[in-house]
Amino acid sequence: MFEQIASSVFTTAFLASVLRITTPILFAALASVISERAGVANIGLEGIMMLGALFGVIFSAWTQSAFVGVVGAGLVGVLIGLMMGWFSLKLGTDIILSGIAVNMLGAGGTIFLLFMFTGLRGNSAALDSRMIPALEMHFLEGIPVLGAFARQSILTYVALLCVFLVFVLLYKTPLGLNIRAVGENPHAADSVGMSVRKVKYIALGISGFLAGLGGAYMSMFYSRGFTTDMVAGRGFIALAAQAMGRGEPLGAMLSSLLFGAADALSHHMQGTALPSQLVATIPYVITIIGLSLYAARTIGKVKRARKARAQTATNA
Amino acid sequence: MRGITKIYPNGIAANQAVDFSVRAGEIHALMGENGAGKSTLMKILMGLEQPQEGEIFLGGEKVSFASPQAAIAKGVGMVHQHFMLVPSLTVAENMVLGIEPKKHGVFFDRAGAVALTKEYSERYGLPLDPNAKIADISVGMKQKVEILKALVRGAKILILDEPTAVLTTRETEELFKQLVILKEQGFTVIFISHKLWEVKQITDRITIMRGGKSMGVHTTAGISEQEISRLMVGRDVMLSLEKEKAEPGGSVLNVRGLNYTNQWGNRMLKDVSFTVRAGEILGVAGVEGNGQSDLVRILWGFESPDSGSVAFEGAEILGEPQSWLRELGISYIPEDRMVYGAAGGASIEENLISDRAWGKRLNKGPFFNAGAIRKECDDLIKRFKVLARSRGQRVGMLSGGNIQKVVVAREFSAGPKLIIAEQPTRGIDVGATEFIRARMVELSRQGAGVLLVSADLAEVMQLSDSLIVMYGGEVVAYFEDTSALTDAEMGEYMLGLSKQSAEELGRAAHD
């Protein structure tokens, strides 16, 4: 049985499916990186992705343009992000509560919105929506590893590019410096005349945009059209990926790939001798193991730092 | 600054018609005890607070600062006691926060930031590594970053709020050299401090504040340390309090040879020894930050000392949990009542029974005995005159004085043999203050020992039967009888001008 699994895992096809599955998680994980670094816990990613998935389909059906659909989904994400900011920064609600509200909106509200805009229930199968084209690179086919990139969605490349862009934003621009300063010590930022609120709004907006793209990918490439609950916890897995990646874009990408791989593995192991229910738990078990390792590491680090400080104190 | 008056919404007049003027290119000390109004005055100058009355002139021009940014724009910069830095960013990045140099219009110009930092650090003789992370550098270095941050933003007047409180002796000396260099380059420095020798060493003139009023401006060379101490330390109002003479019994708390180094490596307690006897109030006087709060934190088990012993009725209590200390009969009124004293979101009733909720008296099987609890709480509320709608009211909704009464009601009604009272009347109204003081005296006359730690000189001198004074982490004076003490005498000990002999201090132990 293990041979069977191994032979299916070490293939280009498996790698290709990892990339395919990772893309939406990666978008959301990057979204989480941006907001987290600005000191805002955006737990509404799941809901934003759902709304992005819905509006991507609706906009693309209306305009018959996949591009408009994707950008529209991103802009809906921006709107939701800013709305969360308005609730928590202006009206003073807890950001976690606004996140939960957005998630509920994403779960129930999308069904209502779908019906309102299209008269359809449950899914958008009857809607003539566009799909995001794949970038056909036939010359890569047959080459080990690289072959996995032969037929990926354009958005997958955009996601990989975003890892770089988010890195540049955070570490190479004044805005990124402000985001990091606001997230770590808002008083310091405030004392030099920075508008903490404005920086957080911007971060939430960017965060929403990325999550919206992740949603569009779900309904415009991963599946054909919108169905209820189609994001299926990816927004939360992305939060875990961000935490495991320690808030770094590259780290978030690696953890997203890990979760993507776990998910792909569970798909590939369907039909083996292992019970399918057990196989389906793999991604979630990996999430828990990953987070435990991450927590253990963090605790260890804090302990060491405390020890070092105690050491210097006694030496002084 | 002319005729500045600031009355806070809670009715405390922090500044009353204060005149304060600083000449360009001088180091000007602003001295005063805690609560004298120094911070408020500087907050007004920095645009953090708005005065009710008064005007500010800067170089002859009338100005008013609605925000810190407005003050910074006019060249006033402040180095806060708590640094306003982002730990994971580098020195250079912190330096340019909010005024980042740009490259190609969009990118952050790191090299530019480093160059700017280098340039300022060399020009003003404040050596720094621009690429070091704030988290990795020493407190003294962080302070330099803060000073440079103000200079980069064009500050001509630098306000330093107790800059030496966090520094080691060597770092302090270094800072002084740098301040002199800044002065020579034409900068004006306002130096907030209550350490006499520092002020004597580097300042040109001194403004002394007391009780929200200015006690005048003096040239540093023309005023003696004794004179400063007399102007700084003094009592304004005496509340009346009848107190029988104490008849101290046996020792309750024996503190011997406590040494303590805090997490930043500063020695906060040096060989502290004293004894609290039953039936007396032992006061601990001193300017804040001289080890009193560290002492209390150790006594109440929040910190462990480097060495020394603390014995309650002869048994060592260091390292024991707070629940056991309470079991033994020790009560604690913490300085920060909303953090350690009471739970703001819980009801008066819940706060009152929080130390005795497990007791048989208040329980019936696995459940609370609601009737007994109600009776107990109503009784306490009445006895301690807590003004509240009902015992179910949330403590956070009460006034400061009433919150403190809730804390005191719980602590005093636990039948304590020893009470550790830390700033028990800080920031509360006169009525509650008098009430709490009277109860404290009453308990001590019934045989409890009281350790009263207070920065309020009037309070310690009036309430204490005997008194120790702390300065620089040491006990510098012990008075077995406080009735003949004068403010001037106290001031000299509190500001470190005098110290008793080892023999005199040894009497505090009552061995």
Range in A253-257, B417-421, B452-456 the model is least confident about: B452-456
Which residues 167-196 of chain B have a CB within 8 Å of chain A?
A: 168
> What residue type is B308 in one-letter code?
G
pLDDT tens digit sequence for B109-168? 999 999 999 999 888 888 889 999 998 888 888 999 999 999 998 889 999 988 887 777
Which residues make beta-bridge pairs with B62? B57
> Residue B11: pLDDT band by 50, 70, 90 thresholds?
low
Average pLDDT over residues A24-47: 94
pLDDT at A142: 76
Among candidates A177, A187, A314 on the partner chain, residue whose Cβ is nearest the Cβ of B108:
A177
pLDDT tens digit sequence for B123-137? 888 888 999 999 888
Share of chain A above pLDDT 90, in %: 51
pLDDT tens digit sequence for A235-274? 999 998 998 888 899 999 999 999 899 888 888 877 777 7
Instruction: CATH 3.40.50.300 in chain B: give the residue spans.
Output: 2-232, 251-509
B264 shares contact with chain A (CB less than 8 Å)? yes
pLDDT tens digit sequence for B253-279? 999 999 999 877 788 999 999 999 999
Is the CA virtual torsion B383, B386, B389, B392 positive or negative? negative
Superfamily of domain B2-232: P-loop containing nucleotide triphosphate hydrolases (3.40.50.300)
pLDDT at B458: 80
pLDDT at B240: 55
Share of chain A above pLDDT 70, in %: 93
* SS3 category, B249: coil
Task: Give me A193's structure tokens.
Answer: 């005349």
pLDDT tens digit sequence for A121-178? 888 888 888 888 888 887 887 787 788 887 889 999 999 999 999 999 999 999 999 9
A177 shares contact with chain B (CB less than 8 Å)? yes
pLDDT at B421: 95
- B165 or A120, which is more confident? A120
> Residue A216: pLDDT band by 50, 70, 90 thresholds?
very high
> Residue B237: pLDDT band by 50, 70, 90 thresholds?
very low
- Residues A36 and B309: their CA atoms lie apart, in Å, by 46
Residue A245 to chain B, least CA–CA distance (Å)? 17
Q: What share of chain B is helix, strand, coil (3-state, %, to 5)?
A: 35, 25, 40
Among candidates B68, B106, B168 on the partner chain, residue whose Cβ is nearest the Cβ of A173:
B106
Which residues 187-206 of chain A have a CB within 8 Å of chain B?
A: 187-189, 191-194
- B318 or B5, which is more confident? B318
- Residues B40 and A191: their CA atoms lie apart, in Å, by 17
Taking all residues of chain B, what is their mean pLDDT, rounded to a whole number? 87
Which residues make beta-bridge pairs with B258? B272
Share of chain B above pLDDT 90, in %: 40
> Residue A316: pLDDT band by 50, 70, 90 thresholds?
very low
The answer to whether B166 and B81 are in contact (CB under 8 A) is yes
Neighboring chain A residues of B107 at a CB cutoff of 8 Å: 168, 172-173
Q: Give B251-509's CATH code, choosing from 2.40.30.110, 1.10.10.10, 3.40.50.300, 3.40.190.80.
A: 3.40.50.300
Average pLDDT over residues B361-367: 88
Candidates B43, B80, B97, B267: best to mutate against A (most CBs of A within 10 A) is: B97
Q: How many CA atoms lie within 13 A of A8 on its CB side?
A: 16
Backbone angles phi, psi at B28, to 5 degrees: -115, 125
Q: Determine whether the interchain pair B68/A193 forms a contact, defined as Cβ–Cβ distance below 8 Å.
A: yes
Helices A12-37 and A234-244: angle between axes, nearest 10 degrees: 70
Q: Above 70 in pLDDT, residue A2?
A: no
Average pLDDT over residues B88-98: 91
pLDDT at B136: 86
Backbone angles phi, psi at B79, to 5 degrees: -105, 105
Which residues 6-45 of chain A have a CB within 8 Å of chain B?
A: none
Which residues make beta-bridge pairs with B146? none
Share of chain B above pLDDT 70, in %: 97
Q: Above 60 in pLDDT, residue B203?
A: yes
Q: Determine whether the interchain pair A189/B80 forms a contact, defined as Cβ–Cβ distance below 8 Å.
A: no
pLDDT at A310: 55
C-alpha angle B303-B306-B311 in degrees, rounded to nearest 5 = 70
Residue B136: DSSP 8-state: G
The answer to whether B468 and B274 are in contact (CB under 8 A) is yes
pLDDT tens digit sequence for B24-76? 889 999 988 766 788 888 888 888 888 888 888 988 888 888 888 888 888 89
- Nearest of A278, A246, A284 to residue A262 by alpha carbon: A284
Q: Determine whether the interchain pair A173/B107 forms a contact, defined as Cβ–Cβ distance below 8 Å.
A: yes
Taking all residues of chain A, what is their mean pLDDT, rounded to a whole number? 87
Which residues make beta-bridge pairs with B272? B258
Is the CA virtual torsion A269, A273, A278, A282 positive or negative? negative
pLDDT at A313: 47
- Tell me, what's the ipTM? 0.75
Which residues make beta-bridge pairs with B388? none
pLDDT at A107: 92
